[in-house]
Amino acid sequence: MSLIAITNPHIEELIRAAQKSKRGRIIFNYHTYAADPVQRMLNAIEPGSYVQPHKHENPDKPEVFIILKGRIAVIIYDDTGEIDDFIILDREEGHFGAEVPPRTWHSIIALESGTVIYEVKHGPYDPTTDKVFAPWAPAENHPQTGEFLLQVTKKLNRFVE
């Protein structure tokens, strides 16, 4: 077994890959198998990349986000899709991480190009049960994802101002 290091060259490589990606993001897994009890990953995400609001409840899983580079909003919604709480993760501001409880609607929005976060959640990972997607938010490839992101960002800006 050897040490797993998170290095700047690796982060920069992921940023370039995310910028070229159709989805505007790329995930690099540090866990070896989907069945591993702890899922650990880097997520390089660009502004405009849509992460559909979702929750983890089968089984219940908290999710942890730690900012490595850039700025990202971690948003919690109520059952109707209204913003219930949020934090802007930004190392310069001293906001380094957030933990979302199980069964909580949430999403992330990159606010700066070159944003990279470290994510941790319980395994195992089963793509058929890992996420329950919010019925009040458009699916990832829906034409209204851009409008949804714009509206959420406007609401965040009102809270911040």
Q: Where are the domains of the chain?
A: 8-160
Burial of 141 (0-12, 13-18, 19+ CB in 10 A): exposed
pTM summary value: 0.94
Residues 161 and 145: their CA atoms lie apart, in Å, by: 24
pLDDT tens per residue, range 109-145: 999 999 999 999 999 999 888 999 999 999 999 999 9
- Residue 48's region, left for phi above 0, alpha for psi from -120 to 50, else beta, is left
DSSP 18: H
Tokens 């934090």 correspond to what residue?
87
Amino acid found at 53? P
For residue 42, give Cα distances in angstroms to 9, 11, 39, 85, 160: 13, 8, 10, 24, 27
Question: Mean pLDDT over all residues of the chain?
Answer: 95
**Which CATH class name applies to 8-160?**
mainly beta
Confidence of residue 84 (pLDDT cuts 50, 70, 90): very high
pLDDT band at 158 (very low <50, low <70, confident <90, very high): confident
Q: Which two tokens stand for residue 90?
A: 């930004």
